[in-house]
Structure 1
Amino acid sequence: MSGAERPPGSPRVVFSARGVGRRYPGVRALEGLDLDGYAGEVLAVCGANGAGKSTFARLLAGQEAPDDGEIRVEGHDGPVVGPADAERAGILLMHQEPLVVDDFSIAENVWLYRLRAGRDVLPWQLARRGDDQETRELLREVGLGDVDPAMPARHLAPGQRQMLALSRATVTPHRVLILDETTASTSEEHFKEIEEMVAAERAAGTAVVFVSHRMPEVFALSDRIAVLRNGELVDVLRTRDTDPGRITTLMIGEAVSALDRPPELPENAGPPALSVRGLHAGSAQDVSFEVGKGEVVGVYGLVGSGRSSVARSVSGQQRPVSGEVEIDGEPTALRSPGAALRRGVVYLTEDRRREGFVADFSNGENLTLSTLGRSSRLGVLRRRRERTRVAELIRRFQVKGGPDVLTSTLSGGNQQKVCLAKWLEADPAVVVLDEPTKGIDVGARLNIYRIIHDLCRENRAVLVVTSEAEEALMLCHRVLVLRDGQVAGEFDTATATTDDLIRTALGGEAA
């Protein structure tokens, strides 16, 4: 089926892209794209990093104008070439990075777009909106029914921030809804609310565009799947007529081989590289565990289980209330990221855009942030030495873009590789990774997995926090399941199942 061909039944065309192209300096992001969106249908748009899927989302939302071709929306006079056109045409874009105003209350963020448009909600009405039944019901629908609407939005976790942003779809009129990697920041327990929201949009006759790299979600939500590769439309398939393997092959041009099991643990490795006893920090309460040299230990749990509190406290990002941490059998107090780095412990944040790199820095500047001392003498940076090392890191970690390219302009997968390379350049003994594959496609994800397994072969200890049960089993030797701040179970990934992990996280018994 071509991108312009209608599925059986000839449903109503809501938007139509014809010959759409977009170029940036030295990059062809999209070329000759023909694609239609139908009323009451979910169209998934898939592709590897740099395939052009987010570029298409921005063009459809009027955030950028195409260099070639045009996009038209039913009932709108003329093509969509800017944000004002998109708003008048009824196009609503939900970004991968949730647009949340930290200093506004949760309720004020719910009604933000209506306030901006001057529709129905006026500034002096926001206080009332914070307590009214409609606001609380909207929050319940996106899994935030237990949060205080008057609380500042800055206190929400990343997944909760994304669900807050999604709540605006209910109160903002639209006929086209674009979900651009919006599930990348959410956890498995929020997917039910997203499914219900998408079902309501489909029933209302909305044309939904779902940009995603997560195959289970693509197949759970979509009616058709459009696959982009290198800026071109490869194919459009009905979801019921295909499978994840075929879509993945279309995305990257070749079949993806299954990831091998983690490397065998070394014999006589000595004391654990990381030992934690009675840790109390944030949501974590009395957590104890060990990570051996050459071992990958996963920490799996739902939002609020304490998983990120564990990662941040054992890497100096936040001070624990109590507990003991040992590195190579020696007690240590990791009171800051710098203190942790000096003891050979590094931390990869789950929120790379806010904490992972400096947005105004180039790849070269970001890659050497943790090891500036190696490229300087008497406080003066030696540029030639720095550039030689940066070139090696870009090659080793397969980062697209040269040393002078701003990291903020890269795809999510390449940004993550820059963040990971920056910390591994410090030659750590213990590597703490908080959601290392969040928001990246299947190709970049497998690349990250292989890097982690290479760390095992180098006899480093790796602690991986993940909200995906399947990833935990694929990547780790052992998995700790946290529930209500405590370790509710420990599993050997050679014999455990996703059902074991999820049931334990929810409070049931493993099968």
Structure 2
Amino acid sequence: MGDANAYQAPSNSRGLIRGALGKPWLSVSNLHTDRLKGVNLEAYRGEILGVYGLAGAGRTRLCQTLFGLETVTGGEIRVGHREYHPSSPVKAISRGIAYLTEERKKDGFIPQMSSYANATLPVLKKFRSGGFVSHGAARQAASELLGKMNTRGSLDGPIKALSGGNQQKVLLARVIAQNADLVLLDEPTKGVDIGAKADIYRIIHQLADKGCCVIVVSSEEEELLDVADNITVFRHGKCDGVIVPAKELKPADLRKAAWEHAEP
């Protein structure tokens, strides 16, 4: 985990050619869970792969499965060219996977905890010395990250007091602090204003530019077309592995692909 900084993104990374990116960093073959009925896809370091589909199509379940929150019943997952058997978030983090949940208020943060503590929660061991956590060091690290993201609000106050956009930036700071190689972002701009969206798009591109493999799940067609390099579509728990450059698609194409084989 954490060797993404050594990666040099291709100069055409926002119009990238998949064949120039080497071997897939994430490979999912015939993945089955209670809700997923056969998922196939590949994603590369330096790539932003958009995932589209109707509600309940399996997009969120894919992220949850990769992060160890769902039980795999069949198929194969490879992360970083090695087999990966997800079993818990702890294992996922140890394999260099970070996950931004769709439901930030329900699953994303601890409401009464400070913003800086929420931002550094998965990496507190980095700030441990002599058996104790240096909250000053953790706060400084969070301050630097959040400052670069134009985050407003108190670092020391409870995160629940922040606006939706600033709460989301705190959770994105957590993703960045993990120095993950595979980043799963489920509806990353849900419930945020236009200004925060622009900041979040910039952060997503920066993650890919430094070599992360980024998966973006979104129900907004225009958003995926703007932020993703390539897009795949889920239909009632399945993904056939067909991936199309975003620049070749229009919103109507995504809607048609999602509805074409949808169950009545």
TM-score w.r.t. length of structure 1? 0.47
- CA–CA distance in structure 1, aligned partners of residues 261 and 133 of structure 2: 56
Partner of 2:150: 398
Matching of residues 137-286 of structure 1 within 5 Å: 262=14, 264=16, 268-286=20-38
Map Cα deviations across residues 211-255 of structure 1 (whole Å, 9 max, x no partner): xxxxxxxxxxxxxxxxxxxxxxxxxxxxxxxxxxxxxxxxxxxxx
Q: Is 1:474 aligned to residue 214 of structure 2?
A: no
Q: Could you tell me whether the CA contact under 8 Å between 2:52 and 2:218 is conserved in 1?
A: yes
Output the amino acid matched with 1:480. Answer: T
- Give the secondary-structure state (helix, strand or coil) at the position aligned to 1:487: coil
Matching of residues 74-113 of structure 1 within 5 Å: none
Gapped runs of 5+ residues in structure 1?
1-260
Output the amino acid matched with 2:259. Answer: L
Relative contact order: is structure 1 or structure 2 higher (C-alpha 8 Å, sep ≥ 6)?
2
Output the amino acid matched with 1:397. Answer: M
Q: CA deviation at 1:491?
A: 2.3
Bigger strand share? 1
Q: Is 1:431 aligned to residue 183 of structure 2?
A: yes
Gapped runs of 5+ residues in structure 2?
1-12
Q: Is 1:329 aligned to residue 81 of structure 2?
A: yes
Partner of 1:495: 248
Q: CA deviation at 1:285?
A: 1.1
Partner of 2:257: 504
- CA–CA distance in structure 2, aligned partners of residues 265 and 281 of structure 1: 31
Q: CA deviation at 1:470?
A: 1.4
- CA–CA distance in structure 2, aligned partners of residues 493 and 314 of structure 1: 24
Partner of 1:452: 204
Partner of 2:61: 309
Q: 2:41 aligns with which of 289, 301, 316?
A: 289
Larger Rg: 1
Q: Could you tell me whether the CA contact under 8 Å between 1:363 and 1:407 is conserved in 2?
A: yes
- CA–CA distance in structure 1, aligned partners of residues 130 and 261 of structure 2: 59
Q: Could you tell me whether the CA contact under 8 Å between 2:142 and 2:173 is conserved in 1?
A: no
Map Cα deviations across residues 238-278 of structure 1 (whole Å, 9 max, x no partner): xxxxxxxxxxxxxxxxxxxxxxx935358753321111111
Q: 1:487 to 1:383 in 2, by over 3 A?
A: closer
- CA–CA distance in structure 2, aligned partners of residues 263 and 442 of structure 1: 24
Output the amino acid matched with 1:501. Answer: L
Q: 1:439 to 1:326 in 2, by over 3 A?
A: same
TM-score w.r.t. length of structure 2? 0.89
Q: CA deviation at 1:303?
A: 1.2
- CA–CA distance in structure 2, aligned partners of residues 458 and 265 of structure 1: 17
Aligned residue pairs total 249
Q: Could you tell me whether the CA contact under 8 Å between 1:408 and 1:415 is conserved in 2?
A: yes
Partner of 1:373: 125
Output the amino acid matched with 1:507. Answer: E
Q: CA deviation at 1:507?
A: 1.3
Q: CA deviation at 1:379?
A: 2.7
Q: CA deviation at 1:378?
A: 3.7
Bigger helix share? 2
Q: 1:265 to 1:409 in 2, by over 3 A?
A: farther
Give me the CA root mean square deviation.
1.9
Output the amino acid matched with 1:506. Answer: W
Q: 1:284 to 1:266 in 2, by over 3 A?
A: closer
Matching of residues 52-63 of structure 1 within 5 Å: none
- Give the secondary-structure state (helix, strand or coil) at the position aligned to 1:289: strand
Q: Could you tell me whether the CA contact under 8 Å between 1:263 and 1:457 is conserved in 2?
A: no
- CA–CA distance in structure 2, aligned partners of residues 334 and 360 of structure 1: 30
Q: 1:338 aligns with which of 49, 69, 90?
A: 90
